[in-house]
Structure 1
Amino acid sequence: MSSRSDPDTAQDAAAFAARLQDDHARRRQGRQILRTAAWKAAHPRGRVVLFGPAVFENPYQTLLYSAFGGRVVPASPQRAPLYRRLGLADVYHLHWDEFHLAPEPGPGSDGARPDYCAPLAAFRARGGRLVWTVHNAEAHSGMTPERAALFEAGRAFLGREADLIHVHSAQARELICERYGADPARVALLPHPAYTGWYSAPAPGANVPAARFLAFGAFRENKGLDLILEGARRAAQQTDLGGLHIAGRGAERATEIAPGISAEGVALQLSPGFVPDTAIAGLFSAAEFCVFGFSSILTSGSLMLALTFGTVPIVPDLPAMRAVLPAPFRPLFFAPGDAADLARVMAAAAAMPGEQRAALRAEALGLAQTLHPRTVSARLEAAIAAL
């Protein structure tokens, strides 16, 4: 099957966006194995890629497969051998391996590996190919020692057995090769795609809270909510910040971390909890800068959201950030974990002339275009086709 990514024949932006929505909706339907069998009967030479876990609340997977010319089907690892036995699937693509941490069952197992290992090994034994995307250095949330051991055992299996390991940064490639012994020849470095085509611009006059600075995401331990608040507090002592909007899971902790911050000159707005897709465009379009407080990171979907909407990122000076953001953004880097340096950057951003802000916005939008999902997807499809 031919790719859908050729820029000379690609449909216009509206058609691309509509196709994304259609693909997303189709993959949410039931009876996938019957639908796949019917498709395979009509396209006997077409490639079927299974993927899991399917996370439909996040459009990342829909964007990542947007240029694939075959069929992409959500399936658990446990279903992969059946698809292979029936001749329906060629590739299994595993995402977010920390979501698959039940001990391996069965009388022949000591429970030391996750239960995805055996079915994926069986899938490969029948000639299937295994692809693994590395999203995180560690699991997102704290683990018991037992689950941490399963996580490490699963990654050792994937580092050894995956035919293609997809990483978003050189730092991730180094980690996987050094920690899990993966062969560098099997590692493909392809950037996280921008979210172009998924979100519509907010309607004119939409009631969107206006704040110069946005902090967005799920504020876990490594996301630095306390750092962002302290940086904003110190910056407000130097200049008028123009407001800080914190949105996402964990945002409610802001009033616990910095209970008196509003009295210190920071106009704080909070949107705690899950942020629905319908609110994303409004949040980012209303802000001029997006502040990130990572202590460590391999890749950031929130950074890609900021670039997609032209919201200029303020980030810690980490290798993964340098790999994505070119020279025009470097004045907005700050020393990781340093609230005083973050305050310096935020104060400078707040005082930045309009022409300079507009130029940085254009840089962000241009960078997002180079990370168009269709481009990244075509490169991934080519890497899989070469297996």
Structure 2
Amino acid sequence: MSARVPGALRVEAEPAFRTAHANPYNANLARSLQREGVDVRDLSYLRLLVRRTDIVHLHWPELTFLSGHRAWRMRARLALFFTFLRIARLRGTRLVWTVHNVEPHERRATPALHARYRRLLLGNVDGILALTEEGVDAARTGHPELRDIPAFVTPHGHYRDDYDFGATRAEAREQLGLRRDATVIASVGMIRPYKNIPRLLSVVRALDDPTLQIAIAGRASSPELARELAEAAERDPRVVLATGFQPDDRLARWLRAADLVVLPYTRIQNSGSAILALSADRPVLVPAIGAMRELAALVGDDWVRCYEGELDAATLADAIAWAGRGSGARSERPDRPDLSELDWPRIAGLTLDAYRAVLHGPSVAGRPPGAAHREPVGSR
């Protein structure tokens, strides 16, 4: 962590570094901002109360305030944070929200408590960040209260420096016990209902291809989902199932072993899993929803293939051919996708520009109605 710079912009981020073991995204952003001279720390309610803070930056606030199963704790978090924020505003603090998802994937709070959370959050946001242009539009469509809030695009950075992607395809398969000559498709990461993995296994069963192997690697979010996947794997010997926590090195090997990464979401706004696969230099099949078309346009259709509707056998078979098995496409595809637009120094610069614009504009309490706009934020 960099040394504190006197007079530096002070940011309390939730989270900044504390979730690095689960997802390096926030820590990468925080470290890159520190290199720009920003004083970034994980959110402390005490510091918010007693010291000058320029920006409070929230990511996934529903996890911050509405996690767990005890409603009284959720209410206490909301009361403490927004009370302290009100005090911090007297010193000029502004609240910024990166809208990763318009709505949470899983909702645990009661409708009344969720409505209170939503009212407090949307009534206090001074600026929104989204990972794509489509994300800005989705945020404002899903939350009309944000139509007058300045918005900025700060992309999701790559993971090339966070994992060891040095293994060759053959080496990774040998280490994981996969067939060297198989066509391997993979879906990697935390397995939740919206990721639609049972559907993927059903589609694979419809493909009469003995050379195919499918690897599902990640921890299932519930015992019921884990049992469903295990039963599906028993019906098809081509399925390789690793439904447990995957350390970083093993996660990287699953990706490097694959010919194609398939992410058949039923709903999604952004996909860190897709960017992780691209960081491992693997082509990706995703539905044409959320920001997936924008990702394909950014990285190129050699690397991201979008499909309409629900995943079916014909779509998957076409994608396997596109990924390079038997089509000659692999020899035409560059060895690595161009992820320069997703470099962390560039993203830190865009984020810092957004912070400064929010600080120089009116606070949410003083913004006149009807002032909707999107700030132009160029690359640095």
**TM-score in terms of structure 2 length:** 0.77
Does 2:301 correspond to 1:328? yes
Of 1, 4, 7, 1:45 maps to: 7
| SS of 2:32 mapped into structure 1 | coil
CA contact (8 A) 1:225 1:254 kept: no
Moved more, 343-352 or 208-217: 343-352
- Contact 1:333-1:345 within 8 A present in 2 as well: no
1:56 aligns with 2:28: no
Aligned counterpart, 2:198: 226
Paired residue for 1:343, among 316, 319, 335? 316
Cα distance, 1:384 vs. partner?
1.1
CA distance in 2, matches of 1:291, 1:222: 14
Q: Is the 8 A contact 1:295 1:336 kept in 2?
A: no
For the pair 1:81 / 2:81, whether they are aligned, the reply is no
Counterpart residue number, 1:312? 283
Partner of residue 8, structure 1: none
Shift of 1:203: 5.5
Which secondary structure does the structure 2 equivalent of 1:200 belong to? coil
For 2:19 and 2:61, how far apart are their aligned partners in 1?
12
SS of residue matched to 1:49: strand
Q: Which amino acid aligns with 1:245?
A: A
Question: What is the aligned partner in structure 2 of residue 244 from structure 1?
Answer: 214
CA distance in 2, matches of 1:329, 1:140: 30
Whether contact under 8 Å (1:234, 1:343) holds in the other structure is no
* Mapped pair 1:187 → 2:151: yes
1:260-295 per-position Cα deviation (integer Å, ceiling 9, x unaligned): 65655x521122122222322212111121100111
One of 167, 176, 179 as aligned partner of 2:139 = 176
The 3 A distance-change label for structure 1 pair 279 and 97 is same
**Kept in 2: contact 1:316–1:333 (CA 8 A):** yes
Q: How many residue pairs align between the two structures?
A: 335
Secondary structure of 1:141 counterpart? coil
- Could you list the per-position Cα deviations for residues 141-194 of structure 1 after superposition, in whole angstroms to 9, with x for gaps in the alignment? 2424x2x44344333333332222111133432233232411355111222111
The correspondence for 2:265, drawn from 291, 294, 300, is: 294
* CA shift in 2, pair 1:185/1:359, >3 Å: farther
Mean Cα deviation higher: 190-199 or 350-359? 350-359
- SS of residue matched to 1:101: helix
Q: Is the 8 A contact 1:63 1:377 kept in 2?
A: no
C-alpha separation between the residues in 2 aligned to 1:323 and 1:184?
Answer: 24
- Which residue number corresponds to residue 118 of structure 1? 83
CA offsets, 1:114-141, max 9 Å, x none? Answer: 6432222322232112111112222232
- Residue 212 of structure 1 contacts residue 242 of structure 1 at CA under 8 Å; is this kept in 2? yes
Alpha-carbon separation, structure 2, partners of 1:351 and 1:105:
54
Superposed CA offset, 1:186-228 (max 9, x none)? 1112221111211223457562344611101222121101111
Provide the residue aligned with 1:268 in structure 2. Answer: 239
Instruction: Give the Å deviation of 1:311.
Output: 1.0
Between the aligned partners of 1:325 and 1:156, the Cα distance in structure 2 is: 34
Compared with structure 1, are the counterparts of its residues 220 and 61 closer, same or farther at alpha carbon in structure 2 (3 Å cutoff)? same
- For structure 1, the 5+ residue unaligned runs are 1-22, 27-38
Distance 1:229 1:115 in 2: 45
- Which residues in structure 2 correspond to 1:122-137 (within 5 Å)? 122-137=87-102
Residues 201, 221 of structure 1: alpha-carbon distance in 2 compared, 3 angstrom cutoff: closer
The whole-number CA distance in structure 2 between the counterparts of 1:224 and 1:114 is: 36
2:123 aligned counterpart, secondary structure: helix
Give me the whole-angstrom Cα distance separating, in 1, the residues matched to 2:72 and 2:263: 41
Residues 195 and 316 (structure 1), Cα distance of their counterparts in 2 relative to 1, 3 Å cut: same
The verdict on how the C-alpha distance between 1:173 and 1:150 changes in structure 2, with shifts beyond 3 A counting, is farther
1:368: how far off?
A: 2.4
Equivalence for 2:125: 162
**Counterpart residue type for residue 288 of structure 1:** D
Per-residue displacement from partner, 1:2-56 (whole Å, max 9, x unpaired)? Answer: xxxxxxxxxxxxxxxxxxxxx4xx8xxxxxxxxxxxx55xx32212211113423
2:355 corresponds in structure 1 to: 384
* Contact 1:141/1:220 (<8 A) preserved: no
